[in-house]
Amino acid sequence: MSDQLIIFDTTLRDGEQSPGASMTKDEKVRIGLALERLNVDVIEAGFAAASPGDFDAIAAVASAVKNSRICSLARAVESDIEQAGAAIASAEAGRIHTFIATSPIHMQHKLRMQPDQVVERAVQAVNQARNLCDDVEFSCEDAGRSEIDFLARIIEAAIDAGARTINIPDTVGYAIPDAFAEMISQLLVKVPNADKAVFSVHCHNDLGLAVANSLAAVRAGARQVECTINGLGERAGNAALEEIVMAVRTRQDLFKIDSQINTQHIVPASRLVSSITGFPVQPNKAIVGANAFAHESGIHQDGVLKHRETYEIMAAEDVGWSTNKMVLGKHSGRNAFNTRMEELGHHFANKDDLDEAFAKFKDLADRKHEIFDEDLQSLISQVELSPQEERIRLLDLQVHCNLGKDPRHASVVLDVDGQRQVEMAEGDGPVDACFKAIEAIVQSKASLLLYSVNALTGGTDSQGEVTVRLEKAGRIVNGQGADPDIVVASALAYIKAVNLLNSNAKANPQETV
């Protein structure tokens, strides 16, 4: 049995399935490069058949990343597999990940297929994928609720057909650690050719057990874990990469294996994903939360000062917390700015892009005394739209509030398709009034699903980073804005979301692992 734990990151695929977490092609490339710096073994870059945009993003990640294997998901459908193969064609090392449901409830009600038909379809899919790529992974969707004998049967057939990784997903987050570990143990015994494949797990967090189930499976013999940065994913999310990696590395007395992850890049990767998706990391989140290594109790502080290991089981520096010390300001030069951006994982394609970003940095530095890494991440992570897509721009904003006086007023000036438009509105507060004024002009008729404000750093001059999530006709988008004035940030975020709604819609995958 291998002594290496393979880390399969699906932030760009399963993580993107979180409502509102869609990423642009350039953002996927940036995250892909951050995952490469982490030394992730396999990056699942997307679902090529989901949309032309997803196909292009996978191809872009495959071209940009050189040291990680690039994977595309595909249903056990001929056209899906063809597109997956084409999307990863430029990768230094590629993988096709094909799947079909194996639980009785999925086979009967979703697939409307008999077990024999499911096995036949699985074998056909693996054979086709194997002809396009020498690395094929096969997943049994909803394995957590599948019958063990049928799982053993279809896995044996998939391995015979050429699959070299077998994934056992707990698709609906139903599993309990002891029972899930027992399932993995039984499959390793029941499948005659199990020694010819790496067994993998992909756990969802519906019961808060994704990491626990994954670790239990590793102890039972699984040698690949599918996970995401910050535990991002649909519904309650996936197993968090940072928790899996650090649990295994910290408890080497129990796990006689380790991953190849460069843990000092964990925190920068976490911040990058958070800033791009608009999903803030909760302060008490393990490993990457702001309070993960904070000590307020006097007893704890005294113990840590005397000997760190009295209350810390790992060093903050080991996961990248030491990388946030650089502070830039209005006197900082272009070289210092560019160097720090490269350290944070952003490489400018050309001088014009650098000049544009540096100008934004200088503008922010004139309004904010100290610029921290969080400010820089936010500066770059705003979704860039083409001139054709950025139909609406904020020109001016004024709000009027008096304590105890109701209502509040907002006046906005927008550029809409080159035309200056002005509107005033009343609301329960300045942000509400601002949104109503904007909506009176743009007439998006979208529903506001989420309004979130996150202070990027400490201090009263901190930038407020606002996420606005809008929904219209089943399409969900995130708009982000950042500014020291949170009302301005809110307006920018709302306008960004409206512009995204007006841009080309992205199709959603029909099935997921």
**Each residue's pLDDT tens digit, 225-269:** 999 999 999 899 999 999 999 999 999 999 989 999 999 999 989
In which residue are the tokens 């810390």 written?
312
Q: How many Cα atoms sit within 13 Å of 123 on the Cβ side? A: 12
Confidence (pLDDT) at 506? 45
Residue owning tokens 């940095």 = 361
Q: Indicate the helix (H) or strand (E) that contains 501.
A: helix 486-502
pLDDT tens readout for residues 275-322: 888 788 888 899 988 777 765 555 555 565 676 667 667 787 778 775
Q: How confident is the model at residue 2, as a pLDDT?
A: 61
Q: How confident is the model at residue 23 (pLDDT cuts 50, 70, 90)?
A: confident
38-52, 386-400, 413-427: which has the minimum mean pLDDT? 386-400
Residue 298 is predicted with a pLDDT of 58
| Beta bridge partner(s), residue 481 | 466
Whether the Cβ atoms of residue 480 and residue 454 lie closer than 8 Å to each other: no
Can you spell out the DSSP letters for 397-409?
Answer: EEEE--TT-S-EE
User: Which of the residue ranges 177-181, 263-267, 381-385 has the most confident prediction, judged by mean pLDDT?
Assistant: 177-181
- Segments making up each domain of the chain, as ranges: 6-277, 328-371, 392-502
CATH architecture assignment, domain 392-502: 2-Layer Sandwich (3.30)
Out of 84-93, 335-344, 417-426, give the one with best mean pLDDT: 84-93
Whether 356 has a pLDDT exceeding 50, the answer reads yes
User: Which CATH architecture is the domain 6-277 placed in?
Assistant: Alpha-Beta Barrel (3.20)
- What digits encode the pLDDT tens for the residues 470-483? 988 878 888 888 88
Instruction: Return the structure tokens found at 341.
Output: 């951006």
- Give the Cα separation of 247 and 177 in Å (integer): 15
How many Å from the N-terminal Cα to the C-terminal Cα in the chain?
26
What pLDDT sits at residue 315? 80
Give the per-residue pLDDT at 322.
56
Percent of the chain with pLDDT over 90: 61
How far is the C-alpha of 430 from the C-alpha of 487, rounded, in Å?
7
Report the pLDDT value the prediction gives residue 387, as an integer from 0 to 100.
Answer: 65
Per-residue pLDDT, 88: 98
Per-residue b/e over 168-196, b at no fewer than 16 CB within 10 Å? bbbbbbbbebeebbebbeebbeebeebee
Could you tell me which residues are beta bridge partners of residue 478? 469
Strand locations in 294-430, DSSP E? Answer: 392-400, 408-416, 419-427
pLDDT at residue 404, rounded to an integer: 74
Question: 């399963």: which residue's tokens?
Answer: 14
- DSSP structural state of residue 251: T
pLDDT category at 10 given cuts 50, 70, 90 is very high
- Work out the average pLDDT over 381-404: 79
What whole-number distance in Å separates Cα of residue 506 and Cα of residue 381? 20
**Per-residue pLDDT tens for 159-177?**
999 999 999 999 999 999 9
Two domains, one topology: 6-277 and 392-502: no
- Contact, 75 vs 49, CB < 8 A? yes
Mean pLDDT score, 76-100: 97
**291 exposed, middle or buried (CB, 10 Å; 0-12, 13-18, 19+)?**
exposed
Strands annotated E in 145-211 = 165-170, 198-203
User: What's 30-91 look like in SS3?
Assistant: HHHHHHHHHCCCEEEEEEHHHCHHHHHHHHHHHHHCCCCEEEEEEECCHHHHHHHHHHCCCC
Least confident stretch, 39-43, 218-222, 379-383 = 379-383
> What does the pLDDT read at residue 385?
61
**411-419: long-range contacts at Cβ-Cβ below 8 A with a sequence spacing of 24 or more?**
411/437, 412/437, 412/438, 412/441, 412/491, 414/438, 414/441, 414/442, 414/495, 416/391, 416/392, 416/441, 416/442, 417/391
In one letter, which amino acid is 348? F
Do residues 208 and 240 make contact, with C-beta atoms less than 8 angstroms apart?
A: no
Residue among 365, 375, 372, 377 nearest 331 (CA): 365
Q: How much of the chain exceeds pLDDT 70, in percent?
A: 89
pLDDT of residue 380: 67
At 160, list the tokens: 């015979």
Task: Find the range with the poorest average confidence among 76-90, 294-308, 344-358, 406-420.
Answer: 294-308
324: confidence class by pLDDT, cuts 50, 70, 90: very low
Asked whether 369 and 331 are in contact (CB, 8 A), the reply is no
Q: Match 């950025």 to its residue by tokens.
A: 390
Contact 31, 272 (CB under 8 A): yes
Q: Is residue 471 packed enough to be buried (19+ CB in 10 Å), middle (13-18) or exposed (0-12)?
A: middle
CA distance 475 to 22: 11
Structure tokens at 508: 């959603």
- Average pLDDT along the chain: 88
Distance CA 173, CA 207 (A): 6
What pLDDT is recorded for position 505? 46
Q: How far apart are CA 327 and CA 58, in angstroms?
A: 35
Q: What is the pLDDT of residues 101-139, one digit of tens each?
A: 999 999 999 999 999 999 999 999 999 999 999 999 999
- The pLDDT score that the predictor gives to residue 9 is 98
- pTM for the predicted model, two decimal places: 0.80
DSSP letter assigned to residue 324: G
Of 512, 13, 467, the closest CA to residue 274 belongs to 467
